[in-house]
Structure 1
Amino acid sequence: MQTLTNSRQLSLVVLREIYRREAYTDVALDQGLKKANLSNVERNLATELVYGIVRRQRTLDALIDQLGKKKANQQPPDLRIILQIGLYQLRYLTQIPESAAVNTTVDLAKKNGFTQLSGVVNGLLRAYARLAKQDDPLILSVDPVQRLGILYSFPDWMIKLWIEQLGQETTESLCEWFNQSPLLDLRINPLKTTLKKVQETFLENGIKVSPVAHLPQALRLISGSRSIVDLPGFEQGWFTVQDSSAQLVTHLLGPQIGETIIDACAAPGGKTTHIAELMEDDGIIWACDRSASRLKKLQENQKRLNLRSIRILTGDSRQFSQFLESADRVLLDAPCSGLGTLHKRPDLRFRQTPERINELVQLQQELLEQTASWVKPKGILVYATCTLNSVENERVIENFLKRHPNWMIQPPSVDSFLTVFATEQGWLKVLPNRHQMDGFFIVKLVKGL
């Protein structure tokens, strides 16, 4: 990738990688930024353009379909991206003057081999700007699924799923929330410092944070553009980056000093290290995962946080029989469709499929069956996903309980802060638009004698 000094040109190059090679948005952008020579302002604009356009691609393509002589999928691929870059600025970046959005996009077309089509680019963008002065140029279907899908840029099957499970009003609120830029949460390490000390140190360094309601270790970054590794206290192990919802999982698990605990799908290790912190690094934690490369991240954090209770095992947890009835507690943070984290993974909404979810449900059931055998009598198993899909959540648990009548759901105690997220069935459900954090499903199961 050539050295770039222009945020819009970089955005074109990165979006090309994402669309054609199915690169992950964060990875492609990170690689692009490392090779580019951009000011902070230009870096921020490139980041906004790339993430925003990947999120909003269905909406932007609908506008190209409606305003252009050729449909979006009939345009030359790079020209399609260039039009998306122009339309995104006009529609969503009101701080950029209309003339700047149009002119820079026309220049981008000329510099990338579309001089003869630069008039088409200019005409389409100016048509949008002219129509936008009267009303929204985006023409929407009366069908609620298609209307929400085009307006908020989600595939129809996902909108239909949410409407069926959550209702139309909640679905629209969810779509709005998932199109916002995500905030970053930190989990403070109580073995090293206190929430108050971190807040004070950050404030002294011009970094604004706020506590997260109901979570004793969580701080949310409000402002401050430096990278995580440059934050004060990072090297000293004062904190870990972890969404507030993910922190709820370990609090429900409730690790106790001296216990043997198994984290069945541990990488990259956010919940594993949280377990160690809550049990004061006193006990045995088996961190299992089949991804050796992702377990390296766990090892790095284990070292940075100075935790000694964690033992790492690489392999498929469905195949581990050596743990039979050996654990006081087991955490199964199951592989899932990730439909609760779509604001952080903008490409996922267009890459996930119902067929893939069916495969995941089978995997979830197999993992739950095996990991349940690791739990001692009267022991605990917590099942968690970061998805909003009852097929992967409630149905998996209901089917498991039918097969294993000696297991039962254990709701959080009435005096626990976790009751805020509890349902009448006893499991926890975190809705992003309601709780302002990743969507999660978490349930604690207790094994009978």
Structure 2
Amino acid sequence: MTSSRQQALIALRDVHQGAYADVALDRVLRKVELPDNDRRLVTELVYGSVRRQRTLDAIIDQLATKKSHQQPLLLRSILHLGLYQLQFQKRIPPSAAVNTTVQLAKDNGFSGLSGFVNGLLRKYVRLGEVEGGESSHISIKLPENPVERLGILHSFPDWIVSLWLEQFGFAQTEQLCEWMNQTPTIDLRVNRLRSSCEEVETALQNQGILCERIPNLPYALRLLSKSGAIKNLPGFNEGWWTVQDSSAQLVSYLLNPQPGEVIIDACAAPGGKTTHIAELMGDEGEIWACDRTASRLRKLQQNTQRLNLKSIQICTGDSRNLAQFQNADRVLLDVPCSGLGTLHRHADARWRQTPQSVGELSILQEELLLHTSTFVKDNGCLVYSTCTLHPAENEGVIKSFLKSSPNWKIEPPATNSPIREYSTDEGWIKVLPHKHNMDGFFMVCLRKKPS
């Protein structure tokens, strides 16, 4: 019962009971000793089955007389694991996918339904052989309606597909959906105060790990091969680098902090942008890292110590209520958001977020922006950023703020800024995953006019 597929099923059971996918997976992997290959398989099966569950349910409905929603959740999870391997994991032989899934049903109280599981999966294999050989996945029957069609084919809720269709049109929405179903890459941000890209590249290559430079980001590297545990990579303990997606690195360049300034990071945890700000300032100045969650600030403290940074001070509290900050040179407000730009990293986020939760978040974002804007001195600036692709949390929040705050204006990035190419006519920055091959982000620099 310690097989990789059994552990994946345990994690999926916990997800269906309300656990976050990454938390459920981490809990499972901590309890059992598995070889690296098996750990990677568990991770792929859990995230893949959660991410693709609408597509997998559609396949079940196509092959079975009893619809997916009528089946016990645990049985449906077993079918998801088997069908995910058949439809999306072509390196796994169909016979192995079928046999291990049938055994999984027997081991988990469904011996009486193991024949049903076996029959459904073998029906899939037969259809695949008819359509294009043993390695071919089957064609899914899709409705004509473009929203439902894309939603079923790429496994997204209809409301997200509708939102993106309205912004990007059909072709780009399909590209975006496909991008969001990829396994996420790992980007490193080299700590310029401790190392260099050349030194980190050489150390990684000496361990057989390939990486590449990222355009417009002079201290960013993307890993191109399997890396194993991050903490075991060369340079981790020495503080040579930290993990941070390339689009998140752009935010601190837009903020453009200078040595000796007072900077406030109003929603700082877990601290990737905070530590980047310190590095850009040469660790000279005063950075206040604020967050209302003390446990998440501990992660920031750990990274600060590992990167050997001295300019960061911790402030625990909700930035909507803090009153001690008034004359900051710059404020970073990286607000809590729906994360629709990072759905590939959070397998279950597409199912957890709703139009209602987005509405609640946009209210929180407006409250945070109104209050943290009071932290900034005249001629100072505030950078507002999100990792979502929802206008209500991005353009909508900024337009509402500027309407009620006439002493603020949008300041486009400088012509020599590394993020100029992501700038829009309105002056804000939009990073689109399917165009720029990095997490989706929105950011804008606001300048406070003298009163």
Shorter-normalised TM range: over 0.9
The secondary structure found in structure 1 opposite 2:274 is helix
8 Å contact kept, 2:253–2:417: no
Letter in 1 for 2:219: Q
Q: Which residue matches 1:218?
A: 220
Q: Which residue matches 1:200?
A: 202
Q: List per-residue Cα deviations over 1:12-50 (Å, max 9, x = no partner).
A: 111001111x21111211121121232222222111111
8 Å contact kept, 2:227–2:233: no
Letter in 2 for 1:383: Y
The secondary structure found in structure 2 opposite 1:223 is coil
Q: Which residue matches 2:135?
A: none
Distance between the aligned counterparts of 2:65 and 2:8, measured in 1? 25
Q: Which residue matches 2:145?
A: 143
Distance between the aligned counterparts of 1:72 and 1:65, measured in 2? 6
Deviation at 1:301, TM superposition (A): 0.7
Distance between the aligned counterparts of 1:77 and 1:124, measured in 2? 17
Q: Which residue matches 2:426?
A: 425
Q: Which residue matches 1:341?
A: 342
5 Å matches for 1:260-271? Answer: 260-271=262-273
Distance between the aligned counterparts of 1:225 and 1:307, measured in 2? 26
Q: Which residue matches 2:187?
A: 185
Q: Which residue matches 2:399?
A: 398
Q: Which residue matches 1:153?
A: 155
Distance between the aligned counterparts of 2:117 and 2:201, measured in 1? 48
| More moved, 371-380 vs 71-80 | 71-80
Deviation at 1:201, TM superposition (A): 1.1
Letter in 1 for 2:281: M
Q: Which residue matches 1:241?
A: 243
Q: Which residue matches 1:85?
A: 81
The secondary structure found in structure 2 opposite 1:248 is helix
5 Å matches for 1:34-183? Answer: 34-135=30-131, 136-183=138-185
8 Å contact kept, 1:206–1:224: no
Deviation at 1:431, TM superposition (A): 0.4
8 Å contact kept, 1:337–1:387: yes
Q: Please, what TM-score do these two structures have when normalized by structure 2? A: 0.97
Letter in 2 for 1:299: Q
Deviation at 1:278, TM superposition (A): 0.4
| More moved, 36-45 vs 283-292 | 36-45
Distance between the aligned counterparts of 1:41 and 1:293, measured in 2? 31
8 Å contact kept, 1:186–1:239: yes
Distance between the aligned counterparts of 1:319 and 1:447, measured in 2? 21
Q: Which residue matches 1:352?
A: 353
Distance between the aligned counterparts of 1:347 and 1:411, measured in 2? 35
Letter in 2 for 1:186: L
Deviation at 1:395, TM superposition (A): 1.2
Deviation at 1:133, TM superposition (A): 2.8
The secondary structure found in structure 1 opposite 2:119 is helix
Distance between the aligned counterparts of 2:351 and 2:78, measured in 1? 20
5 Å matches for 1:273-422? Answer: 273-324=275-326, 326-422=327-423
Distance between the aligned counterparts of 2:112 and 2:440, measured in 1? 47
| More moved, 246-255 vs 393-402 | 393-402
Letter in 2 for 1:354: P
8 Å contact kept, 2:16–2:73: no
8 Å contact kept, 1:89–1:101: yes
- Structure 2 residue ranges without an equivalent (≥5): 132-137
Letter in 2 for 1:130: R
Q: Please, what TM-score do these two structures have when normalized by structure 1? A: 0.97
| More moved, 28-37 vs 314-323 | 28-37
8 Å contact kept, 2:253–2:418: no
Deviation at 1:423, TM superposition (A): 0.8
Letter in 2 for 1:5: T
Letter in 2 for 1:167: G
**When the two structures are aligned, how many residues end up with a matched partner?**
444
User: Are 1:272 and 2:274 counterparts?
Assistant: yes
Deviation at 1:340, TM superposition (A): 0.3
Which portions of structure 1, spanning 4 or more consecutive aligned residues, are displaced by more than 6 angstroms?
A: none
8 Å contact kept, 1:128–1:137: no
Distance between the aligned counterparts of 1:263 and 1:32, measured in 2? 34
Deviation at 1:80, TM superposition (A): 0.7
Distance between the aligned counterparts of 2:320 and 2:2, measured in 1? 49
- Structure 1 residue ranges without an equivalent (≥5): none
Q: Which residue matches 2:435?
A: 434
Identity of aligned residues (%): 60
Deviation at 1:300, TM superposition (A): 0.5
Deviation at 1:98, TM superposition (A): 1.3
Distance between the aligned counterparts of 2:319 and 2:418, measured in 1? 31
The secondary structure found in structure 2 opposite 1:220 is strand
Q: List per-residue Cα deviations over 1:150-194 (Å, max 9, x = no partner).
A: 000000011011111221111111100010000101110000011
User: Are 1:16 and 2:13 counterparts?
Assistant: yes
Distance between the aligned counterparts of 1:401 and 1:306, measured in 2? 38
Letter in 2 for 1:149: G
Distance between the aligned counterparts of 1:186 and 1:173, measured in 2? 25
Distance between the aligned counterparts of 2:245 and 2:139, measured in 1? 37
Distance between the aligned counterparts of 1:364 and 1:404, measured in 2? 15
Distance between the aligned counterparts of 2:265 and 2:12, measured in 1? 36
Structure 1 vs Structure 2 CA RMSD: 1.0
| More moved, 252-261 vs 114-123 | 114-123
Deviation at 1:207, TM superposition (A): 1.5
Distance between the aligned counterparts of 2:83 and 2:406, measured in 1? 56
Q: Which residue matches 2:252?
A: 250
The secondary structure found in structure 1 opposite 2:419 is helix
8 Å contact kept, 1:187–1:239: yes
Deviation at 1:138, TM superposition (A): 1.3
Distance between the aligned counterparts of 2:36 and 2:285, measured in 1? 45
